[in-house]
């Protein structure tokens, strides 16, 4: 194996991402062709990215795109098949034990101990990380208050609602005041209210200077929380940019949503013949989003299509570019695949 | 750092004591089972019940520790809590040793209660020092045996079921009930490669104080068994996180 210094990566034959790791002395996570195979299956494909101090960096990708696999490698629960990464300057292959002292991890499942009370769970983690005895209790109580669980501190974790479990799992990851917080799908499986309140907490951590690496399959979550987003599809980073830039890249292209009065899912080909030079995404049986092209031509073509098909137009909306449009344009995937709900624990 | 690892071993063992050892699987397999056997033997042959005491202590050691390990390791592998432990700056080996130590303490308490109670009730006077010198390494051996089976399988019930194989083999072959010397030669040979043989032998000697010098061999063999069980168990657990 060739030696390297964290500041001078030798990026060889990656070519998957335009953005090479931004190398500043503020980079706290850097990966170099980080790769994971499960047998012959390529789960994570030569990732190159870096995360800066104080930044919230998001991995946005559909189910099975390799988000969890990447986090597991970065936190030492799984070994990369190829490539390297450094966390706070420590090589994950050789110095993970040192790195672990300064990272906090929220796994994709809330796996604290059901039988222990909220407070005892935090105290156990504090002891495990060697937090000084006189700090432990104060820190645990502080976190319980921040996460709104102080009143329930003596109740067993097992009796908590899903949102409370998630919140306590985040609190547990912060008990040793880590420099980097890893969050694997923090809000998956939560109801809207619980998810919003958790996002507020994460956003507060960010404003206090906490470096955060999070994964999500919610576009709005990535948009709201992240300074930069890496879009991950099938183990590959397709694009890394700020939410604003991603949205801007979709600007200038008309995005028009049309709802028809009948099912047109099987007739998308006919529609696309009528409006050439555009990309059409089925949003529903009777609803499409059309990107690109000239709006006037799109209206005309769509109208013609509806007439030929013997159906009507119900709604026509012109859409302001959102992260969804950017996502569609960049990945060629419908954002619907991101909405496939999983049940979280 | 070794301080981290030492602290982790202690935290994990302590937490397991608090959270698991009052759970039904640990109690039923670890305590009720040996107690039922004891009752069965007592009812069948109340006359020379004393003779059976060392064997019954050995059985308690065997069942309490193996049952405990199957619970603490399999539950946590399944729920992902073992992963949580591995997020801390500690080695996989110390996580496993913490688990083994928890089972050891649980077994130690069970064994102590049984030994003291039966000795007082039957008026026996074992040599406490020699008894401890055999019981302690034995508890470590069987706790590691439980750990080994638990990391090798996926489900709690699989570990308990698979563990029954060596457990029952040992009950019948290692002198718990029938003296080894009364068995055919090939079964005797088999008995000598099973750890419980040395536990039973050592415990008997600490009760009857007969040729206690050979207890040193028992102790040594038990330590060897401990090592040859804990090392591959650690390897198997490490393999799960590659
Ligand atoms: N232990 C494993 N053995 C074999 N394949 C695995 C293993 N873990 C993950 N995979 C596969 O690797 C791919 C990436 O999985 P990963 O869990 O990283 O995806 P993800 O982006 O976290 O998805 P999700 O949104 O469902 O959590 C998937 O196709 C998955 O089936
Ligand atoms: Mg995942």
| Residue ranges covered by each domain of chain B | 2-239
- Ligand number with the minimum distance to the CA of A65: 1
Residue B24 has what pLDDT? 67
Q: Do B87 and A78 touch (CB under 8 A)?
A: no
Contacts 24+ apart (CB under 8 A), B172-180: B173/B197, B174/B58, B174/B199, B174/B200, B175/B55, B175/B200, B175/B201, B175/B204, B176/B55, B176/B56, B176/B58, B176/B59, B176/B200, B177/B41, B177/B52, B177/B55
Q: What is the mean pLDDT of residues B31-55?
A: 77
- Cα A235 to middle of ligand 1, angstroms: 9
Task: Give the pLDDT confidence of A293-310 residue by residue, as tens digits.
Answer: 777 888 888 889 988 888
Best mutation target among B8, B9, B16, B89 (most A Cβ atoms within 10 Å) is B89
Q: What is the mean pLDDT of residues B45-59?
A: 82
Short-list A314, A320, A307, A249, CA closest to A288: A314
Per the DSSP assignment, residues forming a β-bridge with A237 are A232
Token reading at A297: 């031509």
Question: Mean pLDDT over all residues of chain A?
Answer: 86
Q: What is the mean pLDDT of residues A125-153?
A: 94
Q: What is the mean pLDDT of residues A168-177?
A: 95
Q: Let me know: does A168 contact A112? Beta carbons within 8 Å.
A: yes
Residue A15 has what pLDDT? 36
Torsional sign, CA B196, B62, B115, B174? negative
Q: What is the mean pLDDT of residues A273-300?
A: 85
- The pLDDT confidence band at residue B28, using thresholds 50, 70 and 90, is low
CB-ligand 1 contact for A68 (6 Å cutoff): yes
Q: Which chain A residue's Cα is nearest to B19?
A: A115
- The pLDDT confidence band at residue A254, using thresholds 50, 70 and 90, is low
Of B81, B88, B241, the CB nearest to A113: B81
Task: Give the pLDDT confidence of B165-185 residue by residue, as tens digits.
Answer: 888 889 889 988 778 888 888
- Cα B99 to middle of ligand 1, angstroms: 29
Residue B159 has what pLDDT? 77
In this complex, is the C-beta atom of A129 within 8 Å of any C-beta atom belonging to chain B?
Answer: yes
Residue A344 has what pLDDT? 46
Q: Let me know: does A111 contact B81? Beta carbons within 8 Å.
A: yes
Helix (H, G, I), strand (E, B) or coil at B97: helix
For chain A, how long is the longest CA-to-CA vector?
Answer: 77
Cβ neighbours of A98 in B, within 8 Å: 89
Task: Give the pLDDT confidence of A79-107 residue by residue, as tens digits.
Answer: 999 999 999 999 999 989 889 999 999 99
Top pLDDT among A327 and A60 is at A60
Top pLDDT among A168 and B109 is at A168
In this complex, is the C-beta atom of A93 within 8 Å of any C-beta atom belonging to chain B?
Answer: no
Q: Let me know: does A48 contact A235? Beta carbons within 8 Å.
A: no
Lowest mean per-residue pLDDT among A243-257, A273-287, B94-108: A243-257
- The pLDDT confidence band at residue B70, using thresholds 50, 70 and 90, is confident
Q: Let me know: does A168 contact A117? Beta carbons within 8 Å.
A: no
Pocket test for ligand 1, best of A64, A339, A342, A344 (most atoms within 8 A of CB): A64
Top pLDDT among B80 and A74 is at A74
Residue B210 has what pLDDT? 78
Predicted ipTM of the assembly: 0.84
Pocket test for ligand 1, best of A40, A47, A61, A66 (most atoms within 8 A of CB): A66
């Amino acid at each position: 194996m060739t030696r390297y210094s964290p500041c001078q990566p030798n990026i060889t034959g990656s070519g998957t991402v335009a953005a090479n790791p931004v190398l500043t002395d503020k980079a706290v996570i850097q990966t170099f062709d980080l790769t994971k195979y499960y047998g012959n299956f390529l789960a994570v494909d030569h990732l190159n990215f870096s995360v800066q101090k104080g930044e919230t960096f998001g991995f946005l990708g559909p189910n099975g795109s390799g988000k969890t696999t990447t986090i597991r490698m970065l936190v030492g629960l799984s070994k990369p098949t190829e490539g390297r990464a450094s966390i706070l300057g420590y090589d994950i292959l050789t110095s993970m034990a040192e790195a672990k002292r300064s990272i906090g991890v929220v796994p994709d499942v809330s796996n604290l101990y059901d039988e222990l009370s909220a407070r005892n769970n935090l105290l156990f983690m504090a002891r495990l990380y060697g937090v000084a005895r006189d700090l432990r209790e104060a820190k645990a109580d502080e976190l319980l208050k921040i996460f709104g669980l102080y009143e329930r501190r003596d109740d067993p974790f097992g009796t908590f609602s899903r949102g409370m479990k998630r919140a306590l799992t985040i609190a547990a990851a912060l008990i040793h005041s880590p420099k980097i917080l890893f969050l694997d799908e923090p809000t998956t499986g939560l109801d809207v209210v619980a998810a919003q309140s958790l996002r507020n907490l994460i956003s507060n951590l960010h404003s206090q200077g906490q470096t955060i690496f999070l994964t999500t399959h919610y576009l709005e979550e990535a948009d709201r929380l992240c300074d930069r987003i890496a879009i991950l599809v099938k183990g590959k980073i397709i694009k890394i940019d700020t939410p604003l830039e991603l949205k801007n890249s979709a600007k200038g292209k008309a995005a028009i949503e049309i709802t028809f009065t009948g099912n047109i899912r099987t007739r998308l080909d006919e529609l696309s013949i009528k409006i050439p030079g555009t990309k059409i995404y089925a949003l529903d049986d009777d609803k499409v989003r059309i990107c690109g092209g000239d709006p006037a031509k799109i209206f005309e073509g769509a109208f013609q299509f509806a007439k030929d098909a013997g159906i009507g137009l119900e709604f026509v909306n012109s859409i302001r570019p959102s992260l969804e449009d950017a996502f569609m344009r960049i990945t060629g995937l419908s954002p619907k695949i991101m909405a496939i709900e999983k049940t979280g624990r | 750092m070794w301080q981290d690892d030492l602290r982790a071993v202690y935290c994990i063992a302590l937490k397991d004591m608090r959270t698991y050892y009052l759970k039904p699987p640990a109690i039923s397999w670890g305590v009720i089972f040996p107690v039922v056997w004891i009752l069965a033997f007592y009812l069948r042959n109340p006359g020379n019940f004393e003779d059976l005491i060392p064997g019954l202590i050995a059985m308690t050691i065997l069942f309490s520790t193996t049952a405990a390990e199957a619970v603490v390791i399999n539950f946590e592998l399944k729920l992902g809590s073992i992963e949580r432990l591995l997020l801390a700056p500690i080695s996989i080996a110390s996580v496993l040793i913490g688990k083994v130590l928890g089972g050891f303490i649980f077994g130690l308490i069970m064994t102590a209660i049984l030994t003291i109670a039966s000795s007082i009730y039957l008026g026996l006077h074992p040599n406490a020092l020699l008894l401890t010198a055999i019981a302690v390494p034995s508890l470590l051996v069987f706790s590691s045996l439980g750990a080994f089976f638990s990391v090798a399988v996926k489900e709690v019930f699989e570990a308990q079921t698979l563990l029954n194989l060596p457990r029952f083999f040992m009950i019948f072959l290692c002198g718990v009930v029938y003296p080894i010397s009364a068995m055919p030669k090939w079964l005797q040979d088999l008995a000598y490669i099973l750890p419980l043989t040395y536990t039973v032998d050592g415990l008997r000697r600490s009760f009857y104080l007969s040729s206690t010098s050979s207890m040193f061999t028992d102790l040594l063999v038990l330590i060897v068994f401990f090592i040859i069980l804990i090392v591959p168990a650690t390897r198997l657990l490490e393999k799960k996180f590659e």
